[in-house]
Structure 1
Amino acid sequence: MSSYRAPDYYLLDELISEEHLLIRDSVRQWVNSELIPVIEDHAQRAAFPTHLLAGMAQLGLFGPTIAESYGGAGLDYLAYGIMMQELERGDSGIRSTASVQGSLVMYPIYAYGSEDQRQRYLPKLANGALMGCFGLTEPNHGSDPGNMLTHFEDEGDTVLLNGSKMWISNAPFADIAVVWAKNPEGKVQGLIVERGMEGFSTPETHNKWSLRASATGELVFDNVRVPKSNILPGVTGMRGPLSCLNQARYGIAWGALGAAMDCYDTALRYAKEREQFGRPIAGFQLQQKKLAEMLTEITKGQLLAWRLALLKNEDRATPAQISMAKRNNVATALHIAREARQMLGAMGITGEYPIMRHMMNLESVVTYEGTHDVHLLITGMDITGMNAFS
């Protein structure tokens, strides 16, 4: 049984409805009973725990903000954020799986797909019968996706898709991929590519030191014929994929806090139990400094995420505000993981405690969905009106 106690120094639970607390507690209990007991073993073996997918679907973790008429839970963004926080408290890679499914696969189909596409794919994605991935990043185009090389040509009733994508979560087991490619006019457009289409392969990425319990791979398109009915009709240009990234970045801002909270709670409990020089190390000034600073930064991050959730519910959250929260909360979580690891000494590097796993995972989280530096420049451009990217 987990002894985790979530830090809530500023009593934020009082700002959250009973319904939201019930949702959080349901996910928390599932993480404690189903995820925590198996995650260290899977991370050590670099294996994705596929048996958890059914439970995640039953909890509504796939597309929780999608309308119930399409199989989603119809929840608001505060509920979504809380769910991602609890998932990442378990593991960043498992939260990534849920984020990809909901924010990067279901959201673009819901927002930009045809009614036929919504009816065909969304209910099965929500209940886990189909798993998806999101293809934007390329080997030579990460922070600059607008210069992607993946493209498709008109072939009558189909299009011919060529190119490749890299660092794709869920790729090795995904049934469908929402792929962003340049159309014959050179504009970015989304397509739904299905496993089994000739010329489509998803080689797995091995030898990762981070997100080891997450399945990562490539998407390779070698003259893949995709029906025109699989093209997302509702958007062209980079606005499409960037809006999806905003959905995912929002979830990350909450999720990273979950990892930070788990590291803090682990360090606090360890410091109270570990004795050196005749007393618990929690009684020493430097350890108290670490713990007090961790809790302060977690509290600031909680307030940032909570306010962002309210703005998101009102459809007033800007991409720059989301970037600020993602950048701040991930950096906070990574710093807390490193400080907590030091507090545990040599024990901090073992799988007996979750800290080293969180730290390694966060090295990916600080990079994906926009790097730490790119998010800084997004904020800089927003406050100055000047584009530092070009």
Structure 2
Amino acid sequence: MDDQAFREKARTWLEKHLGAGHPEGRAWERELGRDGWIGLGWTEDGYGNRRAGLTQQVVWAEEYARSRAPSRVGHIGENLLGPTLIAFGTREQKDRFLPAVARGEELWCQGYSEPGAGSDLAGVRTRAVREGGTYRISGQKIWTSLAQDADWCFVLARTEPGSARHHGLSFLLVPMDQPGRIEVRPIRQMTGTSEFNEVFFDGASARAEHLVGGEGNGWRVAMGLLAVERGVSTLVQQIGFEEELGQVIRAAVTNGAVDDPVVRDRLVRQWAELRTMRWNALRTLGSPQDRPGAPAAVGAPSVAKLLWGGWHQRLGELAMAVRGAGAAVGPRDWSAERPYELDAYQRMFLFSRADTIYGGSDEIQRNIIAERVLGLPREPREPR
């Protein structure tokens, strides 16, 4: 099937399944899974997902975003865990976990960042101790998206006592249904929402056969996961950005803000930068990133993160400038049930303040490019 035929198939399916009263959350994941729309980028057969080449993955991502389909609650399992298991997992691990993700039946969250190890992931302190056929995990993770809904969490933990930095880390698959041993606490953000969570592990168990990549090889697995995090999903994100930019442009035309030459120049600049980001993302898909360790493989994700983080933050600021003084005013219908309701522009502005921090801060991305791509001297580090 060529790309255009694939596009028509995807568009027809989405139109049919996005009628009035369409499901969301877990029910929507199962609906996607039943028809094979989860895991299109996986190279493994037999897990229920349909075959699709790289350009068809892009086509599906574009059609999905443009159809305004529900936000995915299964994207961490599909886009992060799935490719990681395909690259590093055993046959038994793939057979156990990939079919459940492809069917939309099991949801995942990511146990990476900690209060003292966010962008500097090598500072992880969460411990995992082997006891026979089980690892006992103790520690805290933070900024854990969708932990409140997840069935499983992939956790980066320190399994070698006395190890430091990227040595002695392991990548473990941990079931979340462990009352008394795993506690999830929502983090309320400036937007009033709570997509992120703190997760506390108090002797939580993970089976030894659910160790991915071998004990002590967690850093290699974790870096492999981060390399795929900014693949086709980057293009999906940009479709959303395009929609947000269109809304800001329409608002500027409606309220006359576009007549201000400074605002007009900023709108044009945002548009041009978004086009550049798309071309860069398309250029790097299937490029030397496929060769682990190559400079492009190391630097491309950092460049992408720097580009979109700053761009989206500037769009939030531009949205406030377009709205004018009214952007600082809250809703008129405050109520006890909804005491903190923001409009789309206000949410964009407040949420985007974190864009240059989460997922690896701008400072860390610049260090990666400087040290690992350009070969500049490493930044001195204080001993822990």
TM-score (norm 1): 0.77
SS at match of 1:221: strand
Structure-2 separation of matches of 1:103 and 1:273: 38
Amino acid at match of 1:170: L
Distance 1:343 1:26, change over 3 A: farther
Match of 1:69 among 42, 46, 66: 46
Match of 2:357 among 347, 350, 367: 367
Match of 2:225 among 228, 239, 244: 244
State the match for 1:94 in structure 2: 71
- After superposition, the CA RMSD in angstroms is 3.7
Structure-1 separation of matches of 2:6 and 2:360: 29
Match of 2:268 among 279, 287, 292: 292
Distance 1:389 1:263, change over 3 A: farther
Matched, 1:226 2:212: no
Amino acid at match of 1:112: F
Match of 2:4 among 18, 35, 39: 18
Structure-2 separation of matches of 1:365 and 1:34: 33
State the match for 1:152 in structure 2: 128
Structure-1 separation of matches of 2:120 and 2:359: 12
| Range with bigger deviation, 150-159 or 131-140 | 150-159
Matched, 1:321 2:288: no
- Once the two structures are TM-superposed, the CA of residue 344 in structure 1 deviates from its matched residue by 3.0
TM-score (norm 2): 0.78
State the match for 1:182 in structure 2: 158
Structure 1: stretches of 5+ with no match in the other structure: 1-15, 39-47
Amino acid at match of 2:4: E
SS at match of 2:114: coil
Distance 1:285 1:173, change over 3 A: same
| Range with bigger deviation, 369-378 or 26-35 | 26-35
Amino acid at match of 2:320: R
Of the two structures, which has the highest relative contact order with CA contacts closer than 8 Å and spacing of 6 or more? Answer: 1
CA contact (8 A) 2:90 2:212 kept: yes
Structure-1 separation of matches of 2:192 and 2:374: 34
- Once the two structures are TM-superposed, the CA of residue 323 in structure 1 deviates from its matched residue by 0.9
State the match for 1:205 in structure 2: 186
Structure 2: stretches of 5+ with no match in the other structure: 332-340
CA contact (8 A) 1:81 1:309 kept: no
CA contact (8 A) 1:57 1:126 kept: yes
Match of 2:101 among 125, 137, 158: 125
CA contact (8 A) 1:57 1:127 kept: yes
State the match for 2:367 in structure 1: 377
Q: Which has a greater percent of helix?
A: 1
Amino acid at match of 1:257: Q
- Once the two structures are TM-superposed, the CA of residue 152 in structure 1 deviates from its matched residue by 1.8
State the match for 2:337 in structure 1: none
Match of 1:191 among 162, 168, 172: 172
Distance 1:56 1:365, change over 3 A: farther
Structure-1 separation of matches of 2:356 and 2:16: 26
- Once the two structures are TM-superposed, the CA of residue 50 in structure 1 deviates from its matched residue by 5.5
State the match for 1:334 in structure 2: 313
**Aligned pairs, how many?**
358
State the match for 2:86 in structure 1: 110
